[in-house]
Amino acid sequence: MKHDDDSRNPQEFLDLLPQAKNGKLKIYLGGAAGVGKTNRTLEEAHQLRAEGHDVVLGFIETHGRAETAARERDLECIPLKKVTYRGVTVEEMDVDGIVARNPEFAVVDELPHTNVTGSKHNRRYQDIEELPDHGSM
Protein backbone atom coordinates (compact mmCIF):
# COMPACT_ATOMS: atom_id res chain seq x y z
CA MET A 1 0.00 0.00 0.00
CA LYS A 2 1.43 3.32 -1.08
CA HIS A 3 0.98 6.48 0.96
CA ASP A 4 0.84 9.84 -0.75
CA ASP A 5 3.26 11.25 1.87
CA ASP A 6 5.90 8.67 0.90
CA SER A 7 6.09 9.67 -2.75
CA ARG A 8 8.22 12.72 -3.37
CA ASN A 9 9.34 14.52 -6.44
CA PRO A 10 13.13 14.04 -6.83
CA GLN A 11 13.49 17.69 -7.86
CA GLU A 12 12.09 18.77 -4.47
CA PHE A 13 14.97 16.92 -2.81
CA LEU A 14 17.53 18.46 -5.16
CA ASP A 15 16.11 21.92 -4.44
CA LEU A 16 17.03 21.44 -0.76
CA LEU A 17 20.74 21.17 -1.62
CA PRO A 18 22.85 24.33 -1.80
CA GLN A 19 23.39 25.33 -5.40
CA ALA A 20 26.95 26.27 -6.31
CA LYS A 21 27.33 29.07 -8.82
CA ASN A 22 30.41 27.81 -10.56
CA GLY A 23 32.22 30.55 -12.42
CA LYS A 24 34.80 30.20 -15.14
CA LEU A 25 38.48 30.94 -14.85
CA LYS A 26 40.58 32.34 -17.68
CA ILE A 27 44.32 32.74 -17.20
CA TYR A 28 46.64 34.73 -19.44
CA LEU A 29 50.20 33.38 -19.60
CA GLY A 30 53.21 35.13 -21.09
CA GLY A 31 56.79 34.09 -21.61
CA ALA A 32 58.20 37.21 -19.95
CA ALA A 33 57.25 40.30 -17.98
CA GLY A 34 55.89 43.13 -20.10
CA VAL A 35 54.49 41.04 -22.96
CA GLY A 36 50.97 42.44 -22.54
CA LYS A 37 49.03 40.08 -20.26
CA THR A 38 47.59 42.89 -18.13
CA ASN A 39 46.76 45.06 -21.14
CA ARG A 40 44.98 42.17 -22.87
CA THR A 41 43.09 41.38 -19.69
CA LEU A 42 41.92 44.99 -19.38
CA GLU A 43 40.90 45.07 -23.06
CA GLU A 44 38.74 42.01 -22.47
CA ALA A 45 37.25 43.58 -19.33
CA HIS A 46 36.18 46.62 -21.37
CA GLN A 47 34.74 44.37 -24.07
CA LEU A 48 32.72 42.38 -21.53
CA ARG A 49 31.38 45.55 -19.97
CA ALA A 50 30.46 46.94 -23.40
CA GLU A 51 28.46 43.74 -23.92
CA GLY A 52 26.48 44.51 -20.75
CA HIS A 53 28.30 42.26 -18.29
CA ASP A 54 28.98 43.21 -14.66
CA VAL A 55 32.79 43.49 -14.47
CA VAL A 56 35.03 44.66 -11.61
CA LEU A 57 38.76 44.86 -11.15
CA GLY A 58 39.84 42.82 -8.14
CA PHE A 59 43.53 43.61 -8.50
CA ILE A 60 45.56 45.10 -11.35
CA GLU A 61 49.32 45.68 -11.22
CA THR A 62 50.28 48.52 -13.57
CA HIS A 63 54.00 48.39 -12.70
CA GLY A 64 53.93 52.18 -12.92
CA ARG A 65 53.08 52.12 -16.64
CA ALA A 66 50.88 55.08 -17.51
CA GLU A 67 49.39 53.32 -20.55
CA THR A 68 48.35 50.35 -18.40
CA ALA A 69 46.85 52.62 -15.73
CA ALA A 70 44.91 54.45 -18.46
CA ARG A 71 43.29 51.15 -19.49
CA GLU A 72 41.75 50.88 -16.02
CA ARG A 73 39.68 53.94 -16.89
CA ASP A 74 36.05 53.85 -15.89
CA LEU A 75 36.14 50.22 -14.75
CA GLU A 76 34.91 49.63 -11.21
CA CYS A 77 37.72 48.69 -8.82
CA ILE A 78 37.16 46.77 -5.60
CA PRO A 79 39.08 48.72 -2.93
CA LEU A 80 42.21 46.97 -1.74
CA LYS A 81 42.37 45.65 1.80
CA LYS A 82 44.96 47.16 4.13
CA VAL A 83 47.01 44.60 6.05
CA THR A 84 49.58 45.68 8.65
CA TYR A 85 52.64 43.49 9.09
CA ARG A 86 55.62 44.44 11.25
CA GLY A 87 54.55 48.06 11.38
CA VAL A 88 54.14 48.40 7.62
CA THR A 89 50.72 48.68 5.98
CA VAL A 90 50.42 46.82 2.69
CA GLU A 91 47.47 46.75 0.31
CA GLU A 92 46.25 43.36 -0.85
CA MET A 93 43.33 42.14 -2.92
CA ASP A 94 40.11 42.01 -0.88
CA VAL A 95 38.69 38.56 -1.61
CA ASP A 96 35.76 39.07 0.79
CA GLY A 97 35.03 42.44 -0.84
CA ILE A 98 34.84 40.82 -4.27
CA VAL A 99 32.60 38.02 -2.96
CA ALA A 100 30.33 40.55 -1.21
CA ARG A 101 30.08 42.65 -4.40
CA ASN A 102 29.26 39.44 -6.34
CA PRO A 103 30.15 40.62 -9.86
CA GLU A 104 29.65 38.48 -12.92
CA PHE A 105 33.37 38.88 -13.73
CA ALA A 106 36.27 39.78 -11.45
CA VAL A 107 39.57 40.61 -13.12
CA VAL A 108 42.63 39.63 -11.08
CA ASP A 109 46.25 40.21 -12.07
CA GLU A 110 49.54 38.82 -10.72
CA LEU A 111 48.43 35.31 -9.74
CA PRO A 112 51.90 34.18 -8.50
CA HIS A 113 51.94 37.03 -5.93
CA THR A 114 52.77 36.11 -2.33
CA ASN A 115 50.35 37.83 0.05
CA VAL A 116 51.61 39.53 3.18
CA THR A 117 51.41 37.53 6.42
CA GLY A 118 47.96 38.09 7.94
CA SER A 119 46.13 37.88 4.62
CA LYS A 120 43.30 35.41 4.12
CA HIS A 121 45.51 33.15 1.96
CA ASN A 122 49.26 32.82 1.46
CA ARG A 123 49.18 33.28 -2.32
CA ARG A 124 46.96 35.19 -4.73
CA TYR A 125 46.18 32.07 -6.76
CA GLN A 126 44.59 30.73 -3.55
CA ASP A 127 42.52 33.91 -3.35
CA ILE A 128 41.12 33.39 -6.80
CA GLU A 129 40.35 29.72 -6.20
CA GLU A 130 37.58 30.97 -3.91
CA LEU A 131 35.92 33.22 -6.51
CA PRO A 132 34.40 30.71 -8.99
CA ASP A 133 32.38 29.08 -6.18
CA HIS A 134 30.73 32.46 -5.65
CA GLY A 135 30.09 33.04 -9.36
CA SER A 136 32.79 35.67 -9.91
CA MET A 137 35.37 35.28 -12.62
Domain of 61, CATH number, reads 3.40.50.300
b/e sequence 39-72, b meaning 16+ C-beta within 10 Å:
bebbeebeebbeeeeebbbbbbebeeeeebeebb
pTM score, two decimals?
Answer: 0.77
pLDDT of residue 16: 65
Containing structural domain, residue 56: 23-130
The answer to whether residue 67 sits within a structural domain is yes
Structural domains counted in the chain: 1
**pLDDT above 60 (res 17):** no
Q: Which helix (H) or strand (E) holds 48?
A: helix 37-50
**pLDDT above 70 (res 37):** yes
Which tens digits make up the pLDDT trace of 90-122? Answer: 999 999 999 999 999 999 998 889 999 888 889
The answer to whether residue 136 sits within a structural domain is no
The answer to whether residue 12 sits within a structural domain is no
The answer to whether residue 30 sits within a structural domain is yes
pLDDT of residue 119: 85
The answer to whether residue 14 sits within a structural domain is no
pLDDT of residue 58: 95
The answer to whether residue 34 sits within a structural domain is yes
Residue with the larger pLDDT of the pair 20 and 83: 83
